[in-house]
């Protein structure tokens, strides 16, 4: 069983941004907003916390750098130290200048990949997953606000009036498609 929801459809990114602020200030709880492109400031207006993915990326970078240096140290210094052109590999610190390019590349490689996969996993993106946008044109030119009736202690008609006042062009009654 899905939950009863209202889909308020906007036609302009600035309208939905202002509309969100207006409805939020009246204490209306908005479950989700679907947009065809990022609207700046809507996450803040909706009270969505800032993403921590760049902090995570930093730690992936530290991990990448550590793996790179350990690998090169083990292979070229510890396990099989070679003397090439009178330049023996005796310690990591002495060899460090020659190790910097590969250390940099591996750091970037690991950070970029792990951060991207974290993004995909956290945002539930995977080949074959079903999309959740309740209106198909939310990926084209419509900006859709999803309000669950149970979240709000307001009568349906009052809620609809408030949404229209917030400049929504169209309202659809719908059932929530995904489990929360």
Q: Residues 91, 94, 105, 172: which binds another protein (CB under 8 A)?
A: 105
Which spans in the chain are helix H?
A: 13-25, 42-45, 53-72, 92-122, 156-165
Query: Residue 155, interface with another protein (CB under 8 A)?
Result: no
- Candidate residues 8, 32, 152, 163; the one interacting with another protein per rule CB under 8 A: 32
Yes or no: say if 127 and 134 are a contact pair by the CB < 8 Å rule. no
Sign of CA dihedral 45, 51, 55, 58: negative
Residue 11 carries which DSSP code?
S
Is residue 93 within the footprint of another protein (CB under 8 A)? no
* Binding segment (CB under 8 A) for another protein, from list 1-9, 32-40, 152-160, 161-169: 32-40
5 binding another protein? (CB under 8 A): no
DSSP at 125:
-
The residue among 25, 26, 22, 48 whose CA lies nearest residue 35 is: 48
Distance CA 48, CA 44 (A): 6
Contact between 86 and another protein by CB under 8 A: the answer reads no
Minimum distance between the CB of residue 149 and another protein, rounded to whole angstroms?
A: 19
Residues that bind another protein (CB under 8 A): 13-14, 32-39, 42-43, 46, 48, 50-51, 53-54, 57, 71-72, 75-76, 79-80, 82, 84, 87, 89, 95, 98-99, 101-102, 104-106, 108-109, 111-113, 115-116, 119-120, 122-133, 136-141
């Amino acid at each position: 069983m899905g939950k009863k929801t209202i889909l308020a459809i906007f036609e302009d990114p600035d309208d939905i941004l202002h509309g969100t602020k207006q409805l939020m200030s009246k204490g209306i709880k908005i479950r989700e907003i679907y947009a065809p492109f990022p609207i700046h400031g809507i996450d803040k207006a909706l009270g969505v916390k800032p993403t921590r993915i760049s902090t995570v990326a930093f730690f992936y970078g530290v991990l990448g750098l550590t793996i790179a240096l350990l690998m090169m140290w083990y292979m070229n210094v510890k396990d099989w130290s070679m003397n090439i052109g009178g330049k023996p590999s005796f310690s990591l610190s002495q060899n460090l200048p020659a190790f910097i390019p590969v250390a940099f590349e591996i750091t970037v490689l690991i950070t970029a990949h792990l951060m991207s996969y974290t993004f995909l996993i956290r945002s539930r993106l995977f080949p074959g997953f079903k999309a959740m946008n309740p209106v198909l044109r939310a990926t084209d030119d419509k900006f859709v606000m999803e309000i669950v009736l149970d979240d709000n202690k307001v009568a349906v008609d009052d809620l609809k009036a408030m949404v229209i006042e917030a400049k929504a062009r169209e309202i659809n009654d719908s059932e929530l498609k995904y489990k929360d």
